[in-house]
């Protein structure tokens, strides 16, 4: 290394300090830009979440009326055949709308952090049957056979989990399978328990399938792979993002296997939940407690 005179050394040091100062300045500027972009993101996020939670009642109440009234009308005997077909249609369209609304509301609740777990003993077998039944209209219309095979041992009729959440997960998977399957095809639902502590349910369709590169994308919010004006399918891409969040809250896992034009298999693996007796389990005799009070904590 060449030797520098004192003057040269000072000059070099000064130059480096200047450079350092500039770098710090640039860094600060970049940080400011980032912060601004972040604020904008948060603001748009907030608007959307508030919107979702506000519209809940505005939409739910009229929808319930439409469904209730059309059901009541359908049961009247004095109505002509043509008229009752139209009433059927009103009912089925309203129930589709209700399904989509349910997803939107569940998404809003999840995003608001107001979606606690209610773990109860669930009769999974009848829950799956009721889900299949709720889509009977759609499956008959598309002439799709839904074949359900259960492998539950007789001794284990119930499984501890959150039944509402499980129902929404299954409804979405079955709805998707029906939506993305061709007419006159088959959908298989298999359910079993492993080691008595794990519930495995798979929904298999022979529909159009998903490209492997897109496996991660499908659980994103508002993402439907085929979007735009040529979009062929119902929905707005919220279903699987809701499924993913619900799966997370059940500490479960979801697995996708799929081949283009061959069909997809969605498998969920759910661990047995704990039925908690909330406060009663809070022992306050004999255990060590740390008592925090404003007077005995460190104030920073």
Partner 1 sequence: MIKIDKNISTHFLYPSNLFAAKERHMVTTILGSCVAICLYNAKLKYGGINHYMLPLWNNNGLATPRFGNIANQKLLEKMLQLGSHKNHLAAKVFGGANQLNSSINIGGRNIDIALSFLEENKIKLIGKSVGGEVGRKILFDTNTGSVLMKYVQKSIPQIK
Q: Which residues bind partner 1 (CB under 8 A)?
A: 42, 45-46, 49, 107, 110-117, 216, 219-221, 241-242, 244-245, 248-249, 251, 271, 273-274, 276, 278-279, 282, 284-285, 287-294, 297-300
- Least distance from partner 1 to the Cβ atom of residue 215, Å: 12
Q: Smaller CB distance to partner 1: residue 19 or 196?
A: 196
Instruction: Single out the residue of 224, 226, 256 nearest to residue 238, CA to CA.
Output: 224
Q: Smaller CB distance to partner 1: residue 41 or 89?
A: 41
Q: Smaller CB distance to partner 1: residue 116 or 153?
A: 116
Q: Smaller CB distance to partner 1: residue 1 or 300?
A: 300
- Least distance from partner 1 to the Cβ atom of residue 116, Å: 5
- Least distance from partner 1 to the Cβ atom of residue 184, Å: 34
Q: Smaller CB distance to partner 1: residue 176 or 245?
A: 245
- Least distance from partner 1 to the Cβ atom of residue 272, Å: 9
Q: Smaller CB distance to partner 1: residue 27 or 276?
A: 276
**Residue 240 neighbours by CB distance under 10 Å:** 25
Q: Smaller CB distance to partner 1: residue 16 or 28?
A: 28
Contact between 294 and 190 (Cβ < 8 Å):
no
Helix 6-74 with 81-112: angle, nearest 10 deg:
150
Distances in Å between the Cα of 290 and the Cα atoms of 129, 139, 268, 300 are 50, 59, 40, 19
- Least distance from partner 1 to the Cβ atom of residue 245, Å: 5
C-alpha span between 179 and 234 (Å, rounded): 7
- CA distance from start to end of the chain: 49
Helix 163-179 with 81-112: angle, nearest 10 deg:
120
- Least distance from partner 1 to the Cβ atom of residue 208, Å: 23
- At 27 the three-state DSSP class reads helix
Q: Smaller CB distance to partner 1: residue 1 or 290?
A: 290
- Least distance from partner 1 to the Cβ atom of residue 88, Å: 34
C-alpha span between 91 and 82 (Å, rounded): 15
- Least distance from partner 1 to the Cβ atom of residue 246, Å: 10
C-alpha span between 170 and 187 (Å, rounded): 13
DSSP H helical segments within 75-135, as ranges?
81-112, 124-134
C-alpha span between 64 and 185 (Å, rounded): 32
100-111 in b/e form (b: 16+ CB < 10 A) is: eebbbbbbbbbb
């Amino acid at each position: 290394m060449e030797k520098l005179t004192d003057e040269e050394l000072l000059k070099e040091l000064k130059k480096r300090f200047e450079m350092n100062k500039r770098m710090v300045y640039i860094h600060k500027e970049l940080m400011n830009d980032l912060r601004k972009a972040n604020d904008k993101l948060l603001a748009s996020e907030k608007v959307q979440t508030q919107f979702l939670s506000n519209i809940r009642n505005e939409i739910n109440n009229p929808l319930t009326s439409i469904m209730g009234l059309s059901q009541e009308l359908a049961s009247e005997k004095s109505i002509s055949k043509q008229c009752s077909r139209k009433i059927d249609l009103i009912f089925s369209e309203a129930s589709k709308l209700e399904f989509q609304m349910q997803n939107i509301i569940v998404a809003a609740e999840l995003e608001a952090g107001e979606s606690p777990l209610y773990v109860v003993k669930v009769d999974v077998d009848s829950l799956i049957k009721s889900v299949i039944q709720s889509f009977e209209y759609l499956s008959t219309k598309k002439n799709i056979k839904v074949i359900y095979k259960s492998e539950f041992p007789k001794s284990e009729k119930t499984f501890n989990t959150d039944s509402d959440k499980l129902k929404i997960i299954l409804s979405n998977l079955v709805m998707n399978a029906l939506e993305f399957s061709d007419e006159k095809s088959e959908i298989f639902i298999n359910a079993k328990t492993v080691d008595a502590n794990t519930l495995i349910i798979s929904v298999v369709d022979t529909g159009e399938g998903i490209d492997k590169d897109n496996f991660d994308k499908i659980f994103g919010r508002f993402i439907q792979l085929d979007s735009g004006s040529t979009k062929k399918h119902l929905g707005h891409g919220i279903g699987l993002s809701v499924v993913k969040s619900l799966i997370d809250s059940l500490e479960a896992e979801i697995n996708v296997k799929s081949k283009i034009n061959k069909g997809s298999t969605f498998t969920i693996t759910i661990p047995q939940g704990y039925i908690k007796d909330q406060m009663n389990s809070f022992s306050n005799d004999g255990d060590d407690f740390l008592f925090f009070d404003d007077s005995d904590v460190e104030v920073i």
